[in-house]
Each structure stands twice: as structure tokens, then as C-alpha cells.
Structure 1
Amino acid sequence: METSSATPRKGNQNLLDALELFSILRARLKFVLLVALLFVIASVGISLMLTPVFTATTAVLIDPTVQQPFDTQQQSRNPLVDSLAIDSQVAVIRSATILRPVIRSEDLVNDPEFGTGGTSGLVGLILNAIKPGAAKDTDSGVQLAEDKTLKALAEATTVKRDGQTFIITISVDSKDPAKAARLSRAIAESYLSDQRRQLENASSQVSSQIDDRLIGLRERLRLAEDKVQEFRAQNNLQVVGEGGLVTQQDLSGVNTSLIEARAALAAAQAKNAEIQRLLRQGVDAESISDAINSTTISRLREQYSDAARTAANLSADLLPSHPNLVRARSQLAQIQQLIRDEVARIGESAKIELKVAQDRVTNLQQQLDTTRTLTNADDAARIRLRELETEAAATRTLYETALARAKQISELDQVVIPDARIISPAVTPESPSWPKKTLIVALAAILGTLVGACLVIAGTAFRLLKQRLFSEIEETPEEQALTVQQAAPPPLSVSAEAEAPAQIASDPVKPSLPRASRRIKPGIPNLTTLSSIPRLTETGISHNSVGRLGEEVEAIRHALDLFYADQATGKDAEFGEAIEAVHERIDQLAEESDARVALLTAPVTGQGQTLSAFAIAVAGACRGLKVLLVDADPLQRDLTRGLDAGVSRRLQPLANRVREDKELGLSFVSLIAGQPRHKPFELSGQATRELAEIARDHDLTVIDGPLLRDLTSDAPLVAVSDLILISLAKDNREALATQELTETLGKLAGDRPHAVLQTGD
């Protein structure tokens, strides 16, 4: 394994990251492949030593729609009941009732795979000679051997339903492929034979029970019919044909005659009333109604009409005294008198018919009352008669049904159709079902690869852990004392905190001590110095920027490249340690609350804020993080001028303005492009949401923010930030780090972690 791949990085990081693991595995690929090859060879050897097992399967269809020849009832089937019945048959096939005949027909008791072996031949003779009384226990011994064989066969048999269908598969495992197929078919045939036997037994039992019931039903029917006839004779309840009892027929006939007589009486009354009305008002040939149905009246009315028409014609041409007119009027009066006489005669006849109809209705009413009296007297007898007739009819129906069923069963006793049939008999399998050699070898190769990789990673982790433990043990007493002092420091004043990092950084013997900074606690009275960033050039970091001084930018990139390659010395190492301390705090926050957005600000300009943000972002890229650098400083605008001078993207949405800088290995976006310099920095709600969405896609977001006076506790940049860092130059720190500044930053940050970054020597 290469030494560089196993070397831990600076800072409080994991011993091995993904890239290091990949490098380690690639360097030890031969070892991993060797372990996998050993597993494959072992699996091949084990597969060859295992005894192959063959599986043969027979498919049986259980058709619930099969109907027996003597079963004529068409009953609707419940699919749920049919499904439960199929599940029950799975247990039936594996029962002793089905498997025991197979054991006897295939002589599995003496089979070396399923049975215990026989005691016949020479061994049996020897056992009989040694123990003559053993023959008495032959039956129990055979039964015991058969039970053991039954258990072995049941374990080798797998019966299951094929999904939700009505197909059951019967699989048998055996070392002999031909035996597996033969036993699978034998179990299926045994199941079908058991089904036929059950149907035949059920048919015989039903036929026997029906014959026994027929004798009793026949006697019950005879007694019931005798009771009906005897009761009729005793109560004179004779029946004529199919019309029912005689009294009932008499009552029905009298009632019908009475209805007809009443109808005739009503017609006679209407006719008589009409005739009497005509007689009272005077008979007028023109007003006679059609109720007087008489041919004589009809003929006289025709004659009257002709005479009236003739008289009318003559009166129009002749004088009233003309003989012809006088003769016509005389003839008209004569016909009218004849009509009156005929109506009077019909009226007398109608009176006679009305009298006859009234007498007939009276007689029929009396006859009906008499018949009703007789019928009411027989009500109790008729009720009892109906009970006897109902009982006799029910007995007769039951007897006829049982008799017809018995004849059907007796005629079709031997014709039974089982509801199961074999649709796919088992065939001799060509390849074993177990062991699956290809699968075993493939799984062994995968397992061997994983074991080899785990061994490589575990070995590397153990060596790294041992190196770290040894390096901690070899610390000098001065380093240990200083480490203990930094682990639990007393409350420091602002000036003391400003001097401590400089003193530690000035000691060339202990270049790694500035990384052991205190854990930041939000809300404490004094500001905590997170790190002290030294100068890299003569111009100084606190008074220069990215766009104005390319020399300082190149110095930062060079120092960080050397530091993360473990080649930095002097100021480069101090600078790298100071930036790494910031990342350690960000890593700590990420573990606690998934924090990954840092906002840098300053009380005044010229505090090294921009270059500090640039250095933190470049260091994150060197650490392998996906970094987003944001320029939100409307006064300096150095990051925008140096990293994104294009004007075309300033009017586009924020997501489209993100620029990938492949040389630096990070992404950059400007929030102040196009905004006037003299106005306070403002970020819209939409831009805030877009910035938060973009930040979620990155491991680290570093914001070069506006001055402290332009920020408030509800500012959008503060809302999206997880850590607030205030940049202070060393020569201005004591003047600026006042109680007022402490209170301002505390109100601005709220519960968010916040600290000071000291810049310059």
C-alpha cells in the first residue's frame, strides 16, 4: 500500500475518506482478488463434495366446476370457499392417508434413502436364530419402520398451490432422479385414487341411508292418507273432482247466481223507471229514449218521421184548410196515438219483469244465507282437514324425492368423476436442484471480495490508529500541559484572547497547536477568537483583496496546496493551520446541526474580510468539498471583479448566475452585481430562497457579506447562515473589539455560533 494514501489529513477529519479508501483498495487489489479466488476455490470444492439432490414435480388440477352424473342441482359456488378448499387439499396430499399407500407400493421401507432397510435374507435368519421371540414383534417393528419412512417421505415432499390458481404442484426430492419422478407421480395417483374411493364410499353410504329412510317414509305416508280419508267420512267433507268440498262448490254457485240476479234486477228497475217517466210526461215520438227496446216502437217512429216530413212539405205549399194537408196532419196524430198505446203496453210488461227479478233476488239471498250457515258450521272440521292434508302432502313430497334419489344412486353407483386430474406428470430431471453450483460460486466470489476489502480497510485503519496513538504518546510535557490548559480555559478578556493565538503561532516547535481552539458558545459576554490568520506577503492580508492584488491570491493558493499536500513549512504551515481551525469548527457544527453556511463580515473596511473568505473557500475545495463562494459585499466587490466580470448573467435568475471555476475547484455567485454602491445591501425574499436552495446542493457555502452596520438580526443573509465570523485586523483589534461591538454581534447572531477571525501578524 502506498504511503501517501494512508497518511491522515490535517484537522479533525475521519481517518479515511472515500477517495483514500478507493486508493487503498486499488493499491491492494491483488490481495482482494486473491481472497476472492480462495473463496471461489473453496466453494467449488464444497459443491463437488455435496451429494446432488434432484427434484421432480407433478401438477394436479382441482376443478371445482366438476359435477357428478347424479347431481342435478345447479348451485352457485363461492370463490372464497373454493380457494379455502384448495388450501385444505395441500395438507391432505401430505397426510399419511395419501403417502402410506405410496410407501407400500414402492416398498420404501426397504429403500436405503427413505427407509431403514429390511431384515430379510441372511441378516434376518441370523436375527431369528439369535432372538427367536423377535417374530412376535414383527408387526410393531414393521409399523415403526413404516412410520419412520412416512416421516422421511413427508420431509422430502413439497406440496404447494400455484399462486391463486386451482393447480397444486407435488415435488419430491431424491438422490435418484428417476426415483424422484416415480414418487411424485405415485403420490399424485394415490391422491386421485383416494378421491375416487371417497366418492364411492360417500355414494354407498348415501344409498344405504336413503333406503332406510324410505321404509319409514312409506309407512308415514300411508298413515297420513288414511287419517285424511277417515276424517272426511266422519265430517261429510266430500270432494267432487278438483273443485273442492261440496259445500264450498254450493256456496260459490249460489253467490254467482245472486250476482247475476242483482244485475238483471238493476236493469229491469232502470227500464221500468224510464217507461213510467214517459207515461207521466206524455209520450212524444221524438223524445222516446233507446231504453225502450221494441221493434213496434221503432217501426212506428219511422212512420211518424215520414208523416211529419210529408205534413211539413205540404204546409209549405198549401193552405191550412187544404184537404191533403188536413189528411196528412190526421195521419200524423193517428201514428202518435199508436205510439202512446204501445208504450203503455210495454210499461205493464216491464212492471211484471221487475216483480219477477225482485222475487228471484230474494230467493237467492235466502239460499245464500242458508249455505253460509252450513259452511260456517264446518269451519273447525275444514281447518283440521287442511292440517291433515298438508302433513300428507309433505310426507308424499319427501317420499317421492327420496325414492327418485335412491333410484338415481342405485343406477349410477359406479359412475363417479373425481374433481382432480393430473395435467403435468413428473419427468426425470436432468440437472440437480441442489446444490446450485453457479450460484454458490458467484456468492463466494462476492463474499470473498467483500472480506478481502474489509481486511484491507481494517488493516489500514489499525495502522493509522496506531500511528496516531503513538504520536500522542510521544508529545513533550510542555505540549501536554498546553493542551490540557486549552481544553478547559478560564474566561479570557478580549486582549488576552487576541494575544494567545499569536504567542502559540510564534513557537516554531509546536506548529499544530493553533488548531486546538475552544468550542464556541453563543451568547457569552466576550468574543472568542476562532483563529489568527498570518500574513503571506509584505503588503499584508488585511489591506488587500482578490481583484487588487494577484500576488496575495497566488500566495494563498500556494500555501494551501502545500499544506494539504503535507509539504508546508514556516508561514505557509501557520496560514494553513489557521484556515484549518475554521474548517474544524465548521465540521463540528455540521456534526451537531448539519451547519454548512459561514457568513464573514467586519465592522469597517480593510479588515481582510474578502481574502479570509477566499482562503476558507479554497481550503474547502482542497479538502475535497463542494464549495460555493458568494460575494455579498457591495462596497468592495473584489470577488465579483476577480471571479465573474461578465455582465450578461447579472439579469438572469440566481441559479443561472452560478459560475464553476475549474481552476480553483469551486463555484461562485455574485449577489451585488448590478446594485448601486451607495445604497444599503438588500436581498429579496425570492433571492434568499434561491440562495438557500443552491447552498443545500453544496457541502460548504462561504459568504463575503456586507459590513456589520448594514446587517440586522432579521437580514436574509443572517437567516441562511449557520456561523457568523467577524474579521478584525490585528493592529485594529483592540480599538474595535469593544463592549458595544460585542453586544452588536450578539444581537445580530442570536443563538447562532459567532467568533472573531484575526488577520495579519
Structure 2
Amino acid sequence: MADRRSRYVPRRPYAADPAPGVDTQSAASAPQAAAPRAAQVSEAVGAKSSVKPRFARMPQVDVDDAVNWLLSGKRWILLGSVAGLLAGAAFGMLAQPRYTVYTDILVPPSNLQVVNNDLYASSLQSDAQVLEVESRMRVLTSGNVLRRVAERLDLEDDEEFVGRPKWWDVRALISPKPASGDPLLPVVRALSERIKVGRQERSYLVTASVWSWAPEKSVRIANALTEAFREELVRGDASGAAQAAQTLTDRLSELKSAVTQAEDKVQSFRREHNLQQSGTGQLVSAQSMGQINAKLIDAQAREAEAAARYRELSQARAGALDPSSSLQSPTLTQLRVQYAELKRQVESMSLTYGPRHPALTTMRTQLRAIEREVLNETARMMTAAKVDLDQARAALKSLAADTAKARSSVSQDDEAQVRLRELERDAAAKSSIYQSFLVRAGEATQRERVDATSVRVVSSAAPPEQRSYPPRTLYLALGGLIAGFVFGCALAVAIGFAGAYRRMLRET
């Protein structure tokens, strides 16, 4: 090695050196001719050296030089390899291990369809469904969920989550976390750093990873996380339903008052315009008008019948004793029978006795008496017919007046009923809105007590067989050995290169 160093010369050619293939004697025979040229070269070299730094000229290195440097620095290589091996093994054995568990959760974008027309409408658009799943993923790592986990597992008393940072924790020394009055806040921060959530492409399957210093603790945290996540979704749905129910209930009092006022207006308008309804829902005035029209038609029929009867009696008065006369009554029938019998006897006796015979005179007197009775009965019947006719006409006249009055009242009621229908439509619309709000408020109140969450755990967390950090001690030792070997080789080459550079500077 000493011989190699003693015979090392720089590889850079100078102007004073003879060119290859040139005879040294011929070159020496012309010293005077080469002197001006050497002076120019010296001036140029001096000018360059005054401009460029001295380290601009680097020694040339070949493979033999590098091998010799590595051989001369084998102690550095061995030392670096041993140091890297020990450092890797020490880190693997002394570093705080981490145990990571994984749980798969199916997070559909919509809840279970418990009732029709649910408060939470489900969208059929794929973009909206993806946004819904992404939002629920954010809920999985939200502060409310992490706080539930911390409270359920009493992590505020766990040294892993609230202990002081280690002396080698450079990140904690550089950026210390400010103190907080909330004892759960440091736990929530620690959990947020230890929980990672991801979703597989084109699926609603969400994978949550949790790590801690103990495998059983990681499993407990993962299970508590899924339970807290589901409870948070249920609480969110219940809170939304309760808010909707409260809003609807607050609105119900106003709607009820509006419906009451509208119905009062309808009833007041009915009373003011006497628009009372019957049991069939028809206005009393219209119903009375119908009844009066029916009575009027009946009265007209009776009046016509009475007038016809009176005319018939007036025409048949002269032939009252004729049995075929239209004048019929039990008295007239009896008188006609008596009259016919006496007349037959008178005609029979007229053939036997003379006109002044006492028996014949008596019978004729009886005939005249019967005729007078017939005339009296006929007059009585005419008087009765006249009374009936007058009564029918009076009733017809009265009903005609009532009909005209009812027709005027119905006309006024029709005009008022237009406004009444408008008031009834307004009352019906407000009542319909009130009924829909009332039903919806009841549904929202019941929806608050229904768990319609469709989130479920597909793969529960299981204790890991080995730690996730740091890697195995064997792998760390091998990595440290390789890194130490590389560092030792680099250090040996750097030392050899530095020595060569110094010798080049001394020789030049």
C-alpha cells in the first residue's frame, strides 16, 4: 500500500511534459525555441489559477484505486456493519411495538325502508350515494364517535393515550400540544392518529384500521369504534326526526288556529246570510223552495180539479133527477130512487083515478117535495164545490206568493253561496294542511324511536399474530447490517479520496 501511494502521480498533463511519441533529445535540443511557448503557457495557467479555486482540479479515480481504498478502510466497513446490525437489533427489541387490527363495515348509502314516505329520502343517483357513504366514513372518525370510544373504554386513565411523551419523541419536543381543560381531548387526538378509514373502489365496504400497544386493546378499540359509529348514526337519525317532530309540532298550533278561524268565518257567514243546511247537506232555502214547488204543483192540480168539478155540477144541475147525471151523492141517489118509485105510482094511479083524487094529489105533493130536496141537495153540492174551488184558488195564490218569495231568497242565497264556497275551500285547504302536518308530526315522533340503520359489521376485528411496527428484529438487523456496510464503504472511499486529493495538491 505504501508503494502504491509513493508512486501515485497526477494524471493531468502539463505543458512542460513531452508529448507522447516525441524524442526527448530533439525536444531538449531546442530549449530556446520552446522557452517562449512555455512562458505563454505559464502565464495562461497562472491566469486560470487566479480565477478558478484549487479544488476545481480533481484527481482521476479508477477501479483499482477504489478497491485499494476499500481494502485499506476495511475496519471502517466492519465497524459500520457491526454498528448497523446492533442498532437494527436494538431498535427491534427496544422500540414500542404497535399492533394493528382491521374491521370491515358495510355502509349502505340509505337506511332500511321501515315506513312509506320516510323522513330520510334515499337517492338513486350513484354520485349522491357515494357522497353519502363518504360522509358516513367521516362520521366514523368524527370527534363524537371517538369521544364515545374514549368514555366507554376509560381511555382517559390509560397511560398510552395520556402519558407524557418520551425523551426520544422528537415530534413532541418540536411541536408540543397545548394543555386543555377537557381530559378527553388528548385521548380523542391520540385516537384520531391511530385510526385510519378507507373504502374499496366500487363498493360500500369500509375498512377501519386501529393500532395500539397491545393486541387485545386494539381489538377492544375497534369493537367500541364500530358500536359507537352505529350509535352515532342512530342518534343522528333520531335527532333529525326529533327536530322535524318539534318543528311540525310548533307549526301545528298556528295551523290549528288558522283552521279554527276559517271554520268560524264559514259559520258566521252562514248565520249572517241564513245559509243553514239540512241533514242532507242541502241549503234549507233550496230545500224549502223544492217543497214549495211541489206544493204549488199539487195546489194547481187541486184548483184545476175543483174548477172542473164546479163546472160539471153547474152543467148537470138541470138534470139532477136523472140517474145518469154527474151529480152523485148518497142523498141524491136515495132521493132519485124515491122519486122514481113515486112517479111510477103516480103514473099507475093516473090511469085509474082522476087528477083530483086525494091519493094521487098526495103522491104528487110528495113528488114536489122530493124535487125540492133534490134542488136543495144540488145547491148544497154546488156550494161545497164553490167552497172547494175558492179554497184551492186561495191556496194556489198563497203558494204562488211563497214561491216567488222563496225564489228571491234562493237567488240571494246563490249569490251568497259563491262567497260561502270560497270560504269553505279556504277552510278545507287549511284543514287538509293541518291534517297532513298532524299525521307527519306523529310519524316523525314514532320515527325517533325506530332504529332504521342498515350499517353492519362484515368482518370483526381479530387479535393480530404479530406486530405491525416495528418490523421483525431479524429484518431490522439485516437492514442495519446492510446500511452499516454501505455507510462503511462510503466512509472508506471518502477517506481514500480525501487522501489522494491532498497528495495531488502537495505535488502540484
Greater share of strand residues, 1 or 2? 1
What is the TM-score of this pair, normalised by structure 1? 0.35
The TM-score, its normalising length taken from structure 2, stands at 0.50
Tell me which structure has the larger Cα radius of gyration. Answer: 2
Query: Which of 1 and 2 has higher RCO (CA within 8 Å, sep 6+)?
Result: 2
